[in-house]
Amino acid sequence: MKYANLIELFAERPFFEVEELILLFKEPPNQTRARLSRWVNTNKLIQLRRGKYLIPETYQKKESSDGFIANYLYRPSYVSLHTALDFYGLIPESVKVIESVTTRQTASWQTQLGTFKYFSIHRDRFWGYREYFKGGVRLNPQQQFFIAAPEKALLDLFYFQKGEWTLQRLKEMRFQNLDIININQLKEFTEQMKSKKIQRSVHNLLNNILPK
């Protein structure tokens, strides 16, 4: 296996796993892993996590979004919490950590592309997300990803962040563009979550923060 072969194969879909290469090139697994390790050390490849790699942006024919990478890195998962709130313009600050929700164990990876953090949730609460397409059309698969609806992103934030969501704490978030929140949807999701903490948080949000 040569580096040029790798680039040619994965320029369109720049993500791959070591098992794919072993099957494709029919060379000893140890030899494949040694090559990948060498290319990572010389910045010819980006290692996302053990066994998962990305070719450098220079050689990618299509740009990949952080959301797509987050979904790919740990499945099943959807982007949520601060990252989703930032995506929808509900908070003023840009966030550096890409936060997601998963039904698997809590996990976190620090990569050259940023930190990807995953919060574990029971399957009964793994819903309220949608598939996003850049421009609303399926032109570039690497720009498609699963992300929480604005209402579910709020509830995930209340659920996973420690402590009570008092009025003061809600104000410190400096929420904006709250007119995009569907209040009926928020109430319905709150019922579905079956969490006293979320109910208290949403009560404070509805009565003090959300526009009447």
The number of folded domains in the chain is 2
Q: Are residues 71 and 92 in the same domain?
A: yes
Q: Is 132 helix (H, G, I), strand (E, B) or coil?
A: strand
Q: Is position 73 within any domain?
A: yes
Predicted model pTM: 0.92
User: What residue ranges in the chain does DSSP mark as E strands?
Assistant: 15-17, 46-49, 52-54, 77-79, 97-102, 107-111, 114-120, 129-132, 145-148
Q: Is position 82 within any domain?
A: yes
Q: Are residues 21 and 107 in the same domain?
A: no
Q: What is the pLDDT along the chain (212 residues), one digit of tens a residue?
A: 899 999 999 988 899 999 999 999 888 999 999 999 999 999 999 999 999 999 998 898 888 899 999 999 999 999 999 999 999 999 998 999 999 999 999 999 999 999 999 999 999 999 999 999 876 656 667 789 999 999 999 999 999 999 999 999 999 999 999 999 999 999 999 999 999 999 999 999 999 999 87
- Tell the residue number behind the tokens 């598939």, with chain if given: 131
Tally the residues of the chain: 212
Nearest to 158 by CA among 123, 118, 195: 195
